[in-house]
Amino acid sequence: MKMESAKTLQKNEGFGTRVRQVFLNNWRLYLLLLPGLIWLIVFCYIPMYGLTIAFKDFDSRLGIIGSPFVGLKYFRQFFSTRIASKPIVNTMMLVFALLLNQLPGKYFKKAVQTISFAPHFISVVVLVSMLNIMLAPKSGFVNQLIVAFGGKPVFFTSRSEYFRPLYVLSGIWQSMGYSAIVYISALTGVSPDLHEAAVVDGASKMQRIWNIDIPSIMPTVIIMLILQVGKLFSTSYEKALLMQNALNTDVSELISTYVYKVGLVNAQYSFSTAVGLFNSLVNFVLLLTTNLISRKVLDVGLF
C-alpha cells in the first residue's frame, strides 16, 4: 500500500510538473487568451445566476435572493395557456424552413464569392429596411414589376403567408456567402491525387463530387450541422421583431420575440426567464443529442 501511495504521489507530482512546464513555455499565449476568458466569465457565466429568477416571484425591491421561491409556477403557467403553442409552432415552422436552406447547392467562383459574401456584413436593421423599400406597395421595384406585367400590387410585409418566405430567403441571401467560403475552404484540403486517379479511371465530374468531394468534407458538414442544431430555437429575434406588425403576428410571434415582449416590455421578469430557460434547455438537449448520434454513426463530433 505504501508503494502504491508513493507511486500515485510521484505520478501526481509528475503531472503537476508537466502542467507547470507547459504553462511556462506558453505563458504569452495564455496571456493573449486572458481577455477573452474574462469577457466570457463576466458576460456569459456570471449572469447565469439570474436564471434563478425563473423559480422565484421576482420583486426588484427584495432582489434575487430575497424574492420568494415559487418552484415551477411560471413553467406551468407558460404551458397551461394558449400563448405557449403559437410561439413554439411558429418557431418550429421557421426552423423547418431554415433546415431546407442547408440542402447542397452550387459553389461560386472567386468573384461571385466576394459579391455573395458582402451581405454577411449588413446589419439586421439595414436588411429589413431594404426589404421594406424593395417590397413597398407603390414605390418598391418588386411591385412595380408586378404592375408592369399586368398584376396588382401585393402587400408582402403585411400578409402572414409571406412572412416565412421573406424571413428564410433574406437569411439565405445574407448567409450564403459565408457558408460557401466555409465549405470551399474545406474543399481545398481534398488531395488532387484522388481526382487525378478518378479521371484516369473514367469517373465523371458528378461521380468525383459524390465519391471524393462530399466524403472528404463530411466532417466539416457534420460540425456545421451540430452548431446549427445547437441554436435551432434561437432564431434571430431582431429580424423577426423588425418584420413583425399587427397583421402578421399570428406567424411572426416566436419564442424569442415573446420573451422580449413579456420580459422587457411587460416587466414580467420571472415568467420571461422561465420561458428563456426552457428555450435554452431545448437547444442544449438538441446539441447533445446531435453530437452523440454523430459520434456513434460517423465518429465525428464537437466533443
Show the domains of the chain with their CATH numbers.
1-46 (no CATH), 81-298 (1.10.3720.10)
pLDDT band at 125, cuts 50/70/90?
Answer: confident
User: What's the pTM?
Assistant: 0.56
pLDDT band at 236, cuts 50/70/90?
Answer: low
228 CB-near residues (< 8 Å, 6+ apart): 102
Longest dimension (CA), the chain: 95
Asked whether the beta carbons of 230 and 287 are under 8 A apart, the reply is: yes
Asked whether the beta carbons of 121 and 283 are under 8 A apart, the reply is: no
What whole-number percentage of the chain has pLDDT above 70? Answer: 78
- The answer on pLDDT for 98 being more than 60 is no
- Per-residue DSSP letter, 232: T
Grid cell at residue 149: 406585367
Grid cell at residue 23: 504553462
Grid cell at residue 272: 420571461
Q: Mean pLDDT for the chain?
A: 75
- The answer on pLDDT for 106 being more than 60 is no
What whole-number percentage of the chain has pLDDT above 90? Answer: 0
DSSP reduced 3-state for 56? strand
User: How distant, in Å, are the alpha carbons of 62, 159, 169, 179, 215 from that of 125?
Assistant: 37, 20, 16, 21, 39
Cα within 13 Å of Cα(27), Cβ side: 4
Asked whether the beta carbons of 90 and 254 are under 8 A apart, the reply is: yes
Grid cell at residue 37: 476568458
Asked whether the beta carbons of 216 and 190 are under 8 A apart, the reply is: yes
Outline where 192-268 has alpha helix (H). 192-200, 205-208, 214-229, 237-243, 249-252, 255-260
pLDDT digits (tens, 9 = 90+) for 58-91: 777 777 778 888 887 777 766 665 555 455 554 5
Please give the pLDDT value at position 12. Answer: 54
pLDDT digits (tens, 9 = 90+) for 221-230: 777 777 777 6
Asked whether the beta carbons of 67 and 57 are under 8 A apart, the reply is: yes
Grid cell at residue 132: 421594406
How many CB atoms are located within 10 Å of the residue 186 CB? 18
- The answer on pLDDT for 102 being more than 50 is no
Asked whether the beta carbons of 244 and 235 are under 8 A apart, the reply is: no
Cα–Cα distance for residue pair 247/27, rounded to 1 Å: 58
pLDDT digits (tens, 9 = 90+) for 161-198: 888 788 877 877 777 767 777 777 777 777 888 888 88
φ/ψ region of 150 (left if φ > 0, alpha if ψ in -120 to 50, else beta) reads: left
For cell 421557421, what's the residue? 94
Cα–Cα distance for residue pair 223/235, rounded to 1 Å: 19
Please give the pLDDT value at position 20. Answer: 82
Please give the pLDDT value at position 249. Answer: 79
Report the number of secondary-structure helices (H) and strands (E) in the chain.
16, 0
Q: What angle do CA 129, 133, 138 make, to 5 degrees?
A: 150
- The answer on pLDDT for 149 being more than 50 is yes
φ/ψ region of 6 (left if φ > 0, alpha if ψ in -120 to 50, else beta) reads: alpha
Least confident window among 64-68, 104-108, 285-289? 104-108
